[in-house]
Chains A and B, each alone.
Chain A
Amino acid sequence: MRLIVDHITRYDYERPVRGLVQSHRLTPSVFQGQKVISWQVSVTAGQTGEEGGETPGLLGAEFTDGAGDRIQGWRIAGPATRVTVRVQGEVETADLAGMLKGHREVINPCAYKRETAMTAGSAALEALAETVSDAGGQLSLAHGLSAAVSGAIRYQPGVTHAHTSASEALALGEGVCQDHAHALIALARLRGLPARYVSGYLFADSSGAAPDSAAEAAHAWAEIFVDGLGWIGFDPANECCPDARYIRLASGFDARDAAPIRGVARGGTAGDEFMDVSVAVLSADQ
């Protein structure tokens, strides 16, 4: 499937910032499930409410880390009250039933057994994890855990926030893709399987996605490591494994660790930061 992405993140600052430093993981992962046709990230700085007169950001260090993520640093010289990050590209995807085939990474899967504040276990998570049988092996256990999360946390935007933990989301019984992913990571770890958070994009066409499902274009899911097969994606928010509708960007312990954009503003007196994100993922296929 050919997917076209247009992802704009706009930061507005109450008072001008002297400058910003950002670290991006906004490049599609390299594996058999996706091939970049074109991809471009631009960063511009300007003033809120004023069109034109924008200055481009300056490229920083660029490298691929041990997880296989492409990292690109940026510096933005101020003063600016608005910073815009725009990702535009086209990717050819294939359905590998969630498998991350041909992905080059050097981190031992064991390193993903560590819990973070967002994916820490709780009695309720443990109880949920124990409802799934491992009699059918690791793969069937992983599918079972993903289904358990889908059943326990209903898709409902606006209930949880960026810092909601897996155990909090489970207690609420509602959440968004981030909460589903955190909960699945927690369950997998509790059952001894390495698991991690993946950030990316999702194409949801009008016929495929029901109105109450997680049709968020900026999407997140989880990957679980299964012996003999490697990393396999699970999307409890949509009750499936990632297929040709998904574009994978980056991974980490949790949402913070896998964030596609991390940044810090220099200036100290910048006041509040407001972020506005718009993502469109379209199909180029006729």
Chain B
Amino acid sequence: MGVFFDEMNGSGGGTRIPYARLEEWLATMPKELRSLKQAEAEALFRRIGITFAVYGEGGDPDRLIPFDMFPRVFSAAEWARLDRGVKQRAKALNMFLVDVYGRGEIIRAGRIPANLVYQNEAYEKAVVGFVPPKGVYSHIVGIDLVRTGPEDFFVLEDNCRTPSGVSYMLENREIMMRMFPGLFRENRIQPIDSYAEILRRTLASVAPVKCKGEPKVVILTPGHFNSAYYEHSFLADLMGVELVEGQDLFVDGEFVYARTTEGPKRVDVIYRRIDDAFLDPLCFRPDSMLGVPGLMDVYRSGGVSICSAPGAGVADDKAIYTYVPEMIRFYLGEEPILKNVPTWKCAERDDLKYVLDNLGELVVKEVHGSGGYGMLVGPKASKAEIEAFRAQLVANPSNYIAQPTLALSTVPTFVDEGVAPRHVDLRPYCLVGERIELVKGGLTRVALREGSLVVNSSQGGGVKDTWVLAE
């Protein structure tokens, strides 16, 4: 592999300014203190109970995601650009959703192929013609970004349904502040603790038309066996709203109610952390026990809001991803501030040929996959792995897209031998309601294995606190 951009050391030329004070911090930290602090961090995470079970991995379902104490830092100027780019994208994605569930102007204009949208599995026929309050489908947009140079950021993928991980963003900060209060005195780090309040306000701002008075917001979880259950309860606590399961809600007349100790309470906004297919057995999968029977009828007649709105998934499909820059131009008349990664669609013959000829250099992903499963990282794969993947790809090409292997930036990370560069990505969580807001921070994931480019927690990834410095 070539040379990587290191966010602290640049490409050789001295420590970059945002990291100047951390260099001092690192130099003056004795090795014993470091292992002490690392143990303390782990104990804190255990005590607060933040764990992340990962599907299909076996082993300890309550294992911790490793936390690396070395922060990732952005200057105010760097962040300003990311802020504009992320908000621009979140806005265009929502305009796209309103459009494709309405008149489909972008398709009529020939800017996106009709079949990619209308035949997409995530396209929900049941919500066509219904415009959710404030025209927002995706209220929490998680945009996965990677960096390859001082000015070069790329969007890896968009997450318009229910992106997880924000509890790590908040907890990582909490733990860092407890362990290294000095760092927060010496550096002017922008706070992120307003996230929960902004999220609550965002959800309340999309209350349905039939709601009078202060909207009642709940979080709907599939239950404690879900890998992100901790996050569901964490966010409910922070926002001061109820955490409910499907069986705690019921439909009566034109509304949805929650069973409470004080009797039924009408629910106006449901922040759901379950997939569309399980929301309502009367509209989607009839065998689902996780949802609320009749919920979709109430939703579509304006009695309750569902966040993210059913059908939002069509915007974050990997095949649609390639058209997001086009959406930004079409709806906003602007040039995209954040670049897409060049993408080959294996469904197209020429692209497929290129991909098959260059499997060794490319990253190949399933169109509907997530979590780092079912992908091939060409440069890291053995010949046998590449050939096995080639067979899958040829058998079902439309199921895959391919991208070049990006030279992901690195950030210094504590390892057994001291400090070493490890590859990172970034997921900021953009909130879209009456306003579009982004707290100054995000979740930095780090590939802890030397040389690894896969940051997913299921594949040996860890997390870091992410700092945005004040001007």
Binding site for B on A (CB under 8 A): 21-23, 58-63, 65-67, 71, 73, 75, 106-108, 110-111, 113-114, 253, 256, 262-264, 266
Give Cα distance in the complex from A67 to B101, angstroms.
12
**What residues on B are CB-neighbors of A67 within 8 Å?**
125, 128
Give Cα distance in the complex from A253 to B283, angstroms.
12
Contact B119 A110 (CB under 8 A): yes
Name the one of B118, B127, B128, B298 contacting A73, with C-beta atoms under 8 angstroms.
B298
Contact B104 A75 (CB under 8 A): no
- B107-147 residues at the A interface, CB under 8 angstroms: 107, 114-115, 117-119, 121, 123, 125-130
Contact A111 B123 (CB under 8 A): yes
Contact B114 A108 (CB under 8 A): yes
Give Cα distance in the complex from A59 to B121, angstroms.
32
Contact A65 B118 (CB under 8 A): no
The contact sample of 27 A-B pairs, CB cut-off 8 A, is A23-B283, A58-B253, A59-B253, A60-B251, A61-B253, A61-B254, A61-B298, A63-B301, A65-B126, A65-B128, A65-B300, A73-B251, A75-B253, A106-B102, A107-B125, A107-B128, A107-B129, A110-B114, A110-B115, A110-B119, A111-B125, A256-B286, A262-B282, A262-B286, A263-B282, A264-B281, A264-B286
Binding site for A on B (CB under 8 A): 101-102, 104, 107, 114-115, 117-119, 121, 123, 125-130, 250-254, 281-283, 286, 293-294, 296-298, 300-301, 303
A256 (CB) vs chain B CBs: closest residue: B286
If A73-B251, A111-B119 are given as contacts, then 6 extra A-B residue pairs at C-beta distance below 8 Å, sorted by A number, are A60-B297, A60-B298, A65-B129, A66-B125, A66-B130, A113-B118
**What residues on A are CB-neighbors of B126 within 8 Å?**
65-66
Contact B251 A21 (CB under 8 A): yes
Query: From residue A117, how far is it (CB to closest CB) to chain B in Å?
Result: 11
Give Cα distance in the complex from A33 to B253, angstroms.
32
**What residues on A are CB-neighbors of B127 within 8 Å?**
66
Give Cα distance in the complex from A162 to B15, angstroms.
69
Give Cα distance in the complex from A63 to B126, angstroms.
12
- Whether A21 touches B298, Cβ cut-off 8 Å, given contacts A66-B130, A108-B104, is no
Contact B297 A61 (CB under 8 A): yes
Contact B300 A264 (CB under 8 A): no
Give Cα distance in the complex from A73 to B9, angstroms.
62
Contact A113 B115 (CB under 8 A): yes
Contact A106 B129 (CB under 8 A): yes
Give Cα distance in the complex from A124 to B158, angstroms.
40
